[in-house]
């Protein structure tokens, strides 16, 4: 009887492994092995036409000594530190508006969530490039309403990056849904007790809503920072693949693409990819370390 039960257990475990096998093969073939190979290539000079040649830390040194790479890091950090807070604030604002159950509110939630599905697409980036061009909708609006003749917002180095920050706000839908779920899970007893004690709306938001919403804020913050550091499509389409004007929209990921698939410097591109991974990992670890001081979990 015991042997039979052991056979049944072994049979069920093999069935589980059989179902997991396609995923495990995909993880091994498309994630783990490429990561190991890219780590090796990052210490070599490799152009895909000749065998890789070991050069040690030279590629990593070039990442931080090359002026274009340093500028791309500056542009990327600026984009992250501007787009993430605006995106979170906008998502929280809309979630606060949509948390009450009113007639037709689900339709409005779906409408406002829809742009996040298209925010990183090529079509939206092309639309954005046309809107902020010299003859685009923004300049037409400024001329008709205020009589102002605007410039090409994406063609000027002082404003090109900020158009991409505005485009990043399109992807607020995922954060909005998470905030909405968090707001709906906050018990009304807290608000009723605070109102009895004389708290106003601002105090209710700062003393009750925000502390109880910190787990969702933390999750959205970490995920949005990771996504912002990997932003590529918007900069590639809006700048025409060159990161212009004057490298003002040259994201680190875009420069990585140029090094790898235009200049075929796979060794340097692999080193840049690992530097980007370390930067994202550093900010993630910092966020988790600081979360102990400001994230409050309802026990």
pLDDT score of 6 more than 80: no
C-alpha distances out from residue 267 to 136, 238, 264, Å: 40, 27, 9
**Alpha helices, DSSP H only, in the chain?**
2-27, 33-41, 58-65, 67-98, 105-118, 122-131, 137-146, 160-168, 173-184, 188-196, 201-204, 210-229, 233-238, 252-261, 266-294
* Contact status, residue 244 vs residue 107, Cβ threshold 8 Å: no
pLDDT score of 140 more than 90: no
DSSP bridge partners of 44: 54
Alpha-carbon distance of 23 to 279, in angstroms, equals: 28
Backbone angles phi and psi of 45, in degrees to 5? -100, 110
Exposed/middle/buried for residue 43 (C-beta within 10 Å: 0-12, 13-18, 19+) = buried
Q: Among 12-16, 53-57, 203-207, 273-277, name the one with the lowest average pLDDT.
A: 12-16
pLDDT value, residue 73: 95
Nearest alpha-carbon partner for 259 in 276, 238, 283, 279: 276
Structure token digits, residue 9: 């257990």
Mean pLDDT of the chain: 87
Structural domains present in the chain:
67-294 (1.10.3720.10)
pLDDT 10s digits, 49-93: 889 999 999 999 999 999 999 999 999 999 999 999 999 999 999
DSSP bridge partners of 45: 53
Rounded mean pLDDT, 199-215: 89
Q: Among 121-130, 172-181, 221-230, name the one with the lowest average pLDDT.
A: 121-130
- Helix, strand, or coil here: 159? coil
- Helix, strand, or coil here: 54? strand
Q: Among 73-87, 240-254, 270-284, name the one with the lowest average pLDDT.
A: 240-254
Alpha-carbon distance of 139 to 29, in angstroms, equals: 49
pLDDT value, residue 135: 81
Rounded mean pLDDT, 211-222: 93
C-alpha distances out from residue 57 to 45, 130, 141, 257, Å: 11, 43, 52, 20
pLDDT score of 278 more than 70: yes
Q: Among 61-70, 105-114, 257-266, name the one with the lowest average pLDDT.
A: 105-114
Nearest alpha-carbon partner for 188 in 209, 215, 203: 209
pLDDT value, residue 299: 56
């Amino acid at each position: 009887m015991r042997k039979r039960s052991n056979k049944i257990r072994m049979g069920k475990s093999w069935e589980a492994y059989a179902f997991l096998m396609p995923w495990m093969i995909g993880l091994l073939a498309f994630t783990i092995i490429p990561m190991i190979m890219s780590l090796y290539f990052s210490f070599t000079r490799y152009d895909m036409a000749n065998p890789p040649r070991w050069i040690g830390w030279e590629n990593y040194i070039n990442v931080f000594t090359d002026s274009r790479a340093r500028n791309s890091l500056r542009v990327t950090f600026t984009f992250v530190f501007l787009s993430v807070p605006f995106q979170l604030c906008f998502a929280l604002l809309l979630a606060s508006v949509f948390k009450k159950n009113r007639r037709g509110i689900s339709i409005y939630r779906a409408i406002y969530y829809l742009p996040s599905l298209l925010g990183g697409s090529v079509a939206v980036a092309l639309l954005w490039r046309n809107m902020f061009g010299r003859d685009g909708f923004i300049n037409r609006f400024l001329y008709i309403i205020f009589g102002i003749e605007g410039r090409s917002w994406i063609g000027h180095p002082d404003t090109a990056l900020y158009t991409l920050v505005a485009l990043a706000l399109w992807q607020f839908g995922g954060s909005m849904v998470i905030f909405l779920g968090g707001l709906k899970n906050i018990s009304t007893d807290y608000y009723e007790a605070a109102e009895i004690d004389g708290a106003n709306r601002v105090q209710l938001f700062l003393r009750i809503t925000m502390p109880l919403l910190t787990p969702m804020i933390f999750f959205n913050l970490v995920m949005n920072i990771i996504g912002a550091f990997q932003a590529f499509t918007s900069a590639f389409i809006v700048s025409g693949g060159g990161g212009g004007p004057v490298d003002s929209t040259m994201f680190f990921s875009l420069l990585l693409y140029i090094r790898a698939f235009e200049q075929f410097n796979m060794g340097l591109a692999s080193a840049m990819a690992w530097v980007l991974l370390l930067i994202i990992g550093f900010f993630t670890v910092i966020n988790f370390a600081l979360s102990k001081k400001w994230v409050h979990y309802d026990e």
